[in-house]
């Protein structure tokens, strides 16, 4: 029988890969309390430094899936396909994409999370809608998929429960930034939710978790391989996150912009990413449909409203608004805005109350940042680039501090070159 110390040593010294049987024993012993948290934390640190090879990662992810329940989506009467984003600033694509793809005939079981730090969370955004609830039973979830075709909900406690324990350890031991551990964390939940196909949006740039493009590509390839190995048709797009996506950053602000996008009035950059993901999702689902036509006809917006109602929300109710507003970042000269740093804007929104420092923190539904100008826009000298919103005026000072660096934005004499937001595509 294996013992955990020998497994830690093997991975620490990188002398040999762990076998599938050893990984299976490890997860079983950890679940029964026979392997202590400090021992698992030591192993995670060894993995952080020495990685997991393909066979180890496949077995590791398989054990995380097997630690809980899996959903059965085979009886929905329509093909299922999901999307996952690694997170960014102003990334409200899921709010548009789920009803859009569902309106074309797919079932979209979007199990989402909450924001942490400068990146927003899909559930936090939707909870700004009066009455909307994130927690659904499995029966409610499958019922919503059958009746509407799309659902955005919190992942149930029964899906890959080992991931929650391991992530909590990674969070306090400095081992979050490990590509195999990130890939297994994301993919174990996506595979357990029972979708037949999956499209991944892996962000790269200043506002992304993976700031370096080569690391984002490596993560994307790793997740595509895991999906395919577990019978889920998987594709990945690596997309730029150097500039906030769209013009709204913050919970209710992003819902408002999502509804505008579903009404045919979405910002060009937001729609570029949304349509690229939608086309791949529909292709994997085997559906020949034009997502642009679904928005133009009003079908996508109608599906969005049904999706909100089936989860107790009122899609026609006014969204909450912040009591205080303040404009910021005056342009030093007239010219073309050539750069606006996503990370700085995201941190400012977080400090205004739109994000959280710890998972248990509350967020403000109304706080956030509106981009009054984006790269490519012409601005006049003295024109403010951003509008800050908060429930408490005391929050403006720390937000302005985050925006105080001289390199947050730039104004030039020529418009910036048009750069495609999709950097790379991969998967079958």
Using CA atoms, how far apart are residues 366 and 250, in angstroms rounded to an integer?
7
Using CA atoms, how far apart are residues 276 and 282, in angstroms rounded to an integer?
10
Using CA atoms, how far apart are residues 337 and 330, in angstroms rounded to an integer?
11
Using CA atoms, how far apart are residues 88 and 12, in angstroms rounded to an integer?
33
325: annotated active-site residue: no
Using CA atoms, how far apart are residues 270 and 278, in angstroms rounded to an integer?
12
- SS3 state at 66: helix
Contact yes or no for 167/47 (Cβ under 8 A)? no
Adjacent-strand bridge partners of 184: none
Contact yes or no for 247/371 (Cβ under 8 A)? yes
Q: Choose, from 170, 190, 351, 395, the residue flagged as catalytic.
A: 170
Q: Choose, from 82, 91, 124, 163, the residue flagged as catalytic.
A: 163
Q: For residue 51, how many other CB atoms are within 10 A of its CB?
A: 16
Q: Choose, from 11, 84, 118, 233, the residue flagged as catalytic.
A: 84
118: annotated active-site residue: no
268: annotated active-site residue: no
Which stretch of DSSP H or E encloses residue 81? strand 81-85
242: annotated active-site residue: no
Q: Choose, from 83, 114, 125, 189, the residue flagged as catalytic.
A: 189
Burial 210-235 (b: 16+ CB within 10 A, else e): beebebbbbbbbbbbbbbebbebbbb
Q: Choose, from 185, 196, 206, 258, the residue flagged as catalytic.
A: 185
170: annotated active-site residue: yes
Using CA atoms, how far apart are residues 168 and 44, in angstroms rounded to an integer?
12
Catalytic residue numbers, as ranges: 84, 163, 170, 185, 189
């Amino acid at each position: 029988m294996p013992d955990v110390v020998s497994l830690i040593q093997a991975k620490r010294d990188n002398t040999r890969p762990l076998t599938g049987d050893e990984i299976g024993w490890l997860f079983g012993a950890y679940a029964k309390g026979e392997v202590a948290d400090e021992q698992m934390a030591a192993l995670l640190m060894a993995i952080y430094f020495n990685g997991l090879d393909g066979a180890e990662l496949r077995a590791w992810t398989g054990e995380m899936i097997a630690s809980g329940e899996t959903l059965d989506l085979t009886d929905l009467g329509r093909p299922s396909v999901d999307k996952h984003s690694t997170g960014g600033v102003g990334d409200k694509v899921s709010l548009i994409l789920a009803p859009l793809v569902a309106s074309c005939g797919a079932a979209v079981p979007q199990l989402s999370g909450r924001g942490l730090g400068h990146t927003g969370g899909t559930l936090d955004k939707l909870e700004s809608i009066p009455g909307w609830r994130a927690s659904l039973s499995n029966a409610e979830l499958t019922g919503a998929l059958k009746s509407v075709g799309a659902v955005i909900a919190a992942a149930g406690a029964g899906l890959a429960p080992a991931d929650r324990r391991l992530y909590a350890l990674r969070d306090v031991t400095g081992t979050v930034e490990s590509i195999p551990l990130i890939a297994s964390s994301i993919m174990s939940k996506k595979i357990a939710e029972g979708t037949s196909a999956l499209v991944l949006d892996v962000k790269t740039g200043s506002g992304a978790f993976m700031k370096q493009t080569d690391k984002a590509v490596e993560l994307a390839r790793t997740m595509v391989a895991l999906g395919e190995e577990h019978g889920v048709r998987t594709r990945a797009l690596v997309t730029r996150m150097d500039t906030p996506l769209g013009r709204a950053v913050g919970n209710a602000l992003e819902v408002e912009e999502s509804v505008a996008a579903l009404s045919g009035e979405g910002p060009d950059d937001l729609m570029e990413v949304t349509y690229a993901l939608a086309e791949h999702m529909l292709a994997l689902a085997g559906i020949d449909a034009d997502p642009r036509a679904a928005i133009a006809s009003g079908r996508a917006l109608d599906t969005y409203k049904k999706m909100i109602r089936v989860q107790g929300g009122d899609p026609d109710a006014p969204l909450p608004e912040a009591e205080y507003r303040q404009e910021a970042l005056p342009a030093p000269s007239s010219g073309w805005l050539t750069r606006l740093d996503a990370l700085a804007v995201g941190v400012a929104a977080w400090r205004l109350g739109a994000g959280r420092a710890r998972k248990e923190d509350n967020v403000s539904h109304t706080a956030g940042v509106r981009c009054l100008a984006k790269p490519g826009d012409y601005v006049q000298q003295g024109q403010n680039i951003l509008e800050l919103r908060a429930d408490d005026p005391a929050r403006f000072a720390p937000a302005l501090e985050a925006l105080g660096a001289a390199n947050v934005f730039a104004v030039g004499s020529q418009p910036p070159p048009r750069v495609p937001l999709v950097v790379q595509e991969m998967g079958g």
